[in-house]
Amino acid sequence: MTEPITYPLDIAAIRADFPILDQEVHPGKRLVFLDSAASSQKPRQVIEAMRRYYEHDHANVHRGIHVLSERATAAYEGAREKVRAFINARSSREIIFTRNTTEGINLVAHTWGRANLRPGDVVVLSEMEHHSNIVPWQILAEQIGFRLRYIPITDEGLLDLDAYAALLRDEPVKLVSVMHVSNVLGTVNPVKEMIAQAHAAGALFLVDGAQSVPHLAVDVQALDVDFLAFSGHKMAGPTGIGVLYGKRALLEAMPPFLGGGEMIKRVTLEGSTWNDLPHKFEAGTPAIAQAVGLGAAVDYLSGLGMDNILAHEKLVVDYALDRLSEIPGLTLYGPGPEHRNGVAAFTLQDVHAHDIAQLLDAEGVAVRAGHHCAMPLHKRLGVVATARASFYIYNTRDEVDALVEAIYNARRVFRLGG
């Protein structure tokens, strides 16, 4: 059982901020929510900010000359400024609101990619990518005729950096697009060094920050990253809002993504001109309340401190890795604690991951099972599916104990012994 531990955060206060956590999901079974990598829960502060916005301030943004439209615009643009400060972008013009990480990556592919990629060029991805950072490039590669090359992973679950250096040396690489933290292996990739290497080779770098921005301080200027995409719903914010950061000069030079209202300066029947950043990339009525919610989530995470969040999660994840590795027949995927954050994916002998997840759910423990939108990675690991426990600011070591107990129970059900 858990030894008494001092968390760097006031965990009782945090848990009290997340009303959803305080429930039984089956008779006598309290919820143990270990699925935040798929989507995190939302604190009252976020829910309340959105409720207040709808009850007092809602109107469409930017176009109205009445009080509510001005308030809505201030709330929407205020959220953009909060996000700017959170990732230390130079200008809020560099913050494009999208629906999610997936849309941010597609935006870069279909605007920067179409304008800059030619037959014979190379885009470098990695073997551990989420489908959202593979499929948009495959679609475009088929249309344009550029080539995709993949950084392989080592048996430990790290990117093979020698192979990466060789790709940059030997191929006409125009763009590298790689995840910061793996949603399956938990690997924290050394993106700062990788970005410097890509730039030295004349390539741009896109970071998929879906699993890093919610969990650790990401400073776009310190990284010198060209594009960063992330999702609000994985960082205590609402669904339906995400962010694409891009360096201003790159965004200025890119053609628009979607066409419509808001993104134009002037429209005639003969043609149109584009609005200034960031509006050039935000066609139509945006997700205003969701942006307000994301702003509140940024305030919430900043209030806790990203370094404290990382330290808290490390205490929980390291403990989970220790305890899970004691379980007979359980295989853990991914590197050791020094290279990892946030998630623990595993298999249990030849029991299908869905069956494990179902038995854990019966005990109140919510984990995800499947390929986690990373089929090529699972092929590399030699399994069709894994069960994945993922952790966030509200999880405790006691919940890791509940997970481990539930896995032992699953072992008994499947008569695996132990």
Ligand X SMILES: Cc1ncc(COP(=O)(O)O)c(C=O)c1O
- The set of catalytic residues is 373
In 232-334, the DSSP E strands lie at: 242-246, 264-267, 272-274, 330-333
Binding mask 369-388 for ligand X (x = CB under 6 A): ----x---------------
- Which of positions 111-170 make contact with ligand X (CB under 6 A)? 130, 132
Q: Does 208 bind ligand X (CB under 6 A)?
A: yes
Which residue's CB is nearer to ligand X, number 153 or number 210?
210
Pair 24, 30: CB distance under 8 Å = yes
- Span near ligand X by CB under 6 A; candidates 9-17, 97-105, 185-193, 405-413: 97-105
Least distance from C-beta 38 to ligand X, angstroms? 6
Q: Does 396 bind ligand X (CB under 6 A)?
A: no
Q: Pattern 213-252, binding to ligand X, x per CB under 6 A?
A: ------------------x---------------------
183 binds ligand X (CB under 6 A): yes
Which stretches of 31-84 are assigned E, i.e. beta strand? 32-33
Q: d(Cα 84, Cα 95) in Å, to the nearest integer?
A: 6
Among 40, 73, 100, 341, binds ligand X (CB under 6 A): 100
Half-sphere exposure of 290 (CA within 13 A, CB side): 17
Q: Which is nearer to ligand X, 113 or 275 (CB)?
A: 113
Q: Which helix (H) or strand (E) holds 138?
A: helix 135-144
End-to-end alpha carbon distance in the chain: 17
Residues that contact ligand X, how many (by CB under 6 A): 13
For residue 253, what are the contacts with CB-CB under 8 A and spacing of at least 6?
Answer: 115
**Using CB under 6 A, which of 40, 73, 101, 189 touches ligand X?**
101
Of 5-13, 159-167, 207-215, 216-224, the segment contacting ligand X by CB under 6 A is 207-215
Tokens matching residue 293: 């919610």
Cβ of residue 230: shortest distance to ligand X, in angstroms? 8
Q: Where are the alpha helices (DSSP H) in 233-305?
A: 248-253, 288-304
Helices 191-200 and 161-170, packing angle to 10 deg = 20
Structure-token match 């192979």, residue found: 163
Site string for ligand X, 342-371 (x = CB under 6 A): ------------------------------
Which alpha helices (H) appear in 145-190, and where do they start and end?
161-170
Catalog residues that contact ligand X under the rule CB under 6 A.
38, 100-102, 130, 132, 179, 183, 208, 210-211, 231, 373
